Structure 1
């Protein structure tokens, strides 16, 4: 599968190009496995963005998905919102450089 053009941080330049298949291809290309829990985070982040028009801060998102913030950091091995939004075809979270 051909991945649409991405910016220097790996985010899709054309957000409308996002599909679950493209998300998986991007994660594969980045050497990241998307398990069921990670996939749930991605779909919930997209749902949140649809409803509120913003990417939530991790604290608010952890509450939204009823997950422990520390566990999310462990699962993603980094600040979770960056990969969640990247593979979710969403804008970069504010505060992420």
Structure 2
């Protein structure tokens, strides 16, 4: 575990840069995390980020891509458009949550 500063916030991250303590995340931090992976957040991104944060609090683990799609009504194709490449991993990263199980 490493401590780093992102947008003026000291946060603990793992070797892949994911926050290791989700409670350190804030809405001010999300745009900075997004920028680090080449994204600019829109209202559609925020809808998914808020869902992921709420779902994590309720379930105790990061939602899979399938769960995000079915629970939010967002087609998987749209998730790939909003978070290109590896959407589940990128959504979790920007949301300050652990990688979903099964992500490489």
Give the TM-score normalised by structure 1: 0.86
Aligned residue in 2 for 1:42 = 49
Report how many residues are paired.
Answer: 97
1:87 aligns with 2:98: no
Contact kept in structure 1, 2:19 and 2:96, CA below 8 Å: yes
Tell me the alpha carbon deviations over residues 8-43 of structure 1, each in whole angstroms, 9 at most, x when there is no partner. 322113322110101112222333211111111111
Q: Which runs of 4+ in 1 moved over 3 A?
A: none
Deviation at 1:56, TM superposition (A): 2.0
Aligned residue in 1 for 2:4 = none
Give the TM-score normalised by structure 2: 0.81
* Structure-1 separation of matches of 2:72 and 2:38: 25
RMSD: 1.6
* Structure-1 separation of matches of 2:81 and 2:34: 17
Aligned residue in 2 for 1:2 = 8
Structure 1: gaps spanning 5 or more residues: none
Aligned residue in 2 for 1:23 = 30
Structure with bigger strand share is 2
**Equivalent runs, 1:60-79 vs 2, <5 Å:** 60-79=67-86
